Structure 1
Amino acid sequence: MKYILFVLAGAFSYGLLSTFVKKAYSSGFHVSDVVGSQALLGFTMLWILMFVSSKLSKPSKTSRAFDPTWRQVLILMAVGTTTGMTSIFYYSSLQFISASFAIILLFQFTWMGVLLEALVERKRPGKEKILSLVILFTGIVMASGYLNGGQITVSWIGTTLGLLSAVTYTFFIWFSGRTAKQIAPIKRSAIMLSGSFVLVMLVFPPRFVFNGSLHESLLLWGFLLAFFGMVIPPLFYAIGVPRIGGGLATILSAAELPTAVMMSYFALNESVTAVQWFGVGATIVGIAIPEIWKRILLIHK
């Protein structure tokens, strides 16, 4: 159960990000400033945390035996680029499409992850996962507020970017639980985040460091985005996903949406309709179904 809570906590952290991004945009910052400061500060915080943790823990033959090889480092960094790509694609899509439509596109990862697990492991998803996905998708559409938006003009650039963010997020959840599992979670997360940091710095050179933006309110938003988007989720996913599997982790990650909706209501004072609250409730039910199903089966055995 504790590993499920780790994944849920990571998903809740991701749910806070859209509010912080909106706040940063309203302060006049560009997507390159937001993504770049998030990557830089997240990279710095996680490596500091890793070094402090290594100094406080006593070294042992077992811990040294699980030090990563250079091949594992490169693989972990490659996996880490998926988090950077998710931020780049998703934050960029918000420049072309509405937030409600973008969140629907991002949350296609719920069925993508289960499909990927079925294809790779060559096993059909259980009835509980299929039922969960149906309820989740219904809840996601309702909670996003898209149903209240009327007719919209579809931007194919924004739609493509939104779907790409779903694909890269699916790969992050999948590979974070299957790569170099014997390495300590905090060290794995730091190495993966290094890959994300390198990618983001190549795509968005850190001009914000030299033009003074980082010394303004960007520092606050960058810190919040880094902590809740680049430190907590990769670390908690590295702990929880190997224990519960990619399929269930994908479903639990949908907890991001109810968090985002509630944050928009309480922090941004945005109106949330009864349909959206019903969608939040449906999403929570969809997340809980696999665990409830498992407990019911245990009772009847």
Structure 2
Amino acid sequence: MKKWHYALIVFLGGCCYGILSTFVKLAYSAGYSVTEVTGGQYLFGTLITWILVLFTKKKNVTRSQTLKLLLSGIPFGLTGAFYYHSLQTLNASLAIILLFQFIWIGTLFELIIYKRKPNKEKLISIFILLVGSILAGGIIFEGGIELSWQGTIWGLLSALTFATFIFLSGSVGKDTPPLLKSAFLSTGALVVVFLIYPPIYLMDLPTLAGVAQYGFILGLFGVFLPPLLYSIGMPHIGPGLGTILTASELPVAVSMSALVLGESVGWSRWMGVILILSGIMVSNVRQSKAKTNQVYDLENSNTHHF
């Protein structure tokens, strides 16, 4: 596959996360708690992944590889737990802005670990994305924002763990089949979530049956697809560009709120959506130019050689 194919796969992984907030709100309105919704999401997502693994060609994975992948799933589970904690004391719009700080954290990881300095286009892209997220979150023109230090800490922690998860998706288990890798990541996340939110509701069949309809959708788009898509795309594009592409989450979340929940979305929020998509395009234009220049230089060197 070409590099833009992998970029598109990661972009779609971000879009999957954008679907979640709408169905979480629907589950809450149906009377289900944070514990039931979060636990249901990771439980059904992990089950879907392992069921599909059973129908794929088996590959032996060492005990060391298995342990690394399970541990890499920890920040995946913590992101959901931290984010839902922040929502308990923060406005949803402000909470997602804090989560969105993962965009620059991912670039910082790339700088510290791989010594890759962000180029001018990437810095411009990050700036556009952050401004767009503030507008799309509606915290400037809609007002009514209350800030709590507890919620802020949880929100920033969710950004840190999400950036960590994206980084690990591209660097751990590169030789492991994406579906099997996703299964181990999801299992690690499930264990953490069950430790934070004890699954007492599993003993109550009516509750389990009721939350299943939401858990299946949340598990599909929040637990099964993102790790799978990131496992396929991230190793080929790197964590810096990867975190930028996952910003597709917010435009989808705003669109779903308007289309499914019928929420009123003002011009400023749509302007934020446009800015976020523009920021993603800026980052990819840079990648395309770099790739074109590499091909051009290679052709020139071959011409001179002959």
State the TM-score bracket (shorter-chain normalisation).
over 0.9
Stretches of structure 2 lacking an aligned partner (at least 5 in a row): 297-306
8 Å Cα contact 1:173/1:237 also seen in 2 = yes
What TM-score comes out, normalization by structure 2 length? 0.92
Matches within 5 A, 1:131-280: 131-150=124-143, 152-211=145-204, 212-216=206-210, 218-280=211-273
Shift, 1:295, TM fit: 3.1
SS at match of 1:53: coil
Aligned equivalent of 2:86: 93
SS at match of 1:246: helix
Shift, 1:142, TM fit: 0.5
> What do the CA deviations read for 1:228-281 (whole angstroms, capped 9, x no partner)?
000000000000000111111000000001000000110111111111111100
8 Å Cα contact 1:11/1:256 also seen in 2 = yes
Of the three residues 286, 289, 295, the one matched with 2:282 is 289
- The AA in structure 2 aligned to 1:226 is G
SS at match of 1:271: coil
Q: Specify whether residues 277 and 204 from structure 1 end up closer, same or farther in structure 2 by C-alpha distance, changes over 3 A only.
A: same
Aligned equivalent of 2:56: 53
2: CA distance between counterparts of 1:249 and 1:27?
35
- The AA in structure 2 aligned to 1:233 is P
8 Å Cα contact 1:76/1:192 also seen in 2 = yes
Counting aligned pairs with the same residue, the percent is: 43
Aligned equivalent of 1:30: 33
- After superposing the two structures, state which structure 1 stretch, 150-159 or 182-191, moved more: 150-159
8 Å Cα contact 2:38/2:193 also seen in 1 = yes
Q: Specify whether residues 288 and 197 from structure 1 end up closer, same or farther in structure 2 by C-alpha distance, changes over 3 A only.
A: same
What TM-score comes out, normalization by structure 1 length? 0.93
8 Å Cα contact 1:10/1:236 also seen in 2 = yes
8 Å Cα contact 2:94/2:145 also seen in 1 = no
2: CA distance between counterparts of 1:163 and 1:30?
23
Shift, 1:297, TM fit: 5.0
- The AA in structure 2 aligned to 1:38 is Q
2: CA distance between counterparts of 1:12 and 1:105?
18
Shift, 1:294, TM fit: 3.2
8 Å Cα contact 1:31/1:92 also seen in 2 = no
How many residue pairs were aligned? 290
Matched, 1:41 2:34: no
Aligned equivalent of 1:125: 118
2: CA distance between counterparts of 1:118 and 1:270?
40
2: CA distance between counterparts of 1:27 and 1:158?
24
1: CA distance between counterparts of 2:250 and 2:166?
16
2: CA distance between counterparts of 1:224 and 1:298?
37
Q: Specify whether residues 298 and 112 from structure 1 end up closer, same or farther in structure 2 by C-alpha distance, changes over 3 A only.
A: closer
- After superposing the two structures, state which structure 1 stretch, 22-31 or 277-286, moved more: 22-31
Stretches of structure 1 lacking an aligned partner (at least 5 in a row): none
Q: Specify whether residues 297 and 244 from structure 1 end up closer, same or farther in structure 2 by C-alpha distance, changes over 3 A only.
A: closer
2: CA distance between counterparts of 1:296 and 1:172?
28
1: CA distance between counterparts of 2:84 and 2:143?
23
- The AA in structure 1 aligned to 2:172 is T
> What do the CA deviations read for 1:32-89 (whole angstroms, capped 9, x no partner)?
10111111111111000111123xxxx6xxxx4xx32111111110110111101111
- The AA in structure 1 aligned to 2:6 is Y
SS at match of 1:96: coil
Aligned equivalent of 1:15: 18
8 Å Cα contact 1:86/1:168 also seen in 2 = yes
Of the three residues 100, 104, 112, the one matched with 1:107 is 100
Shift, 1:203, TM fit: 1.5
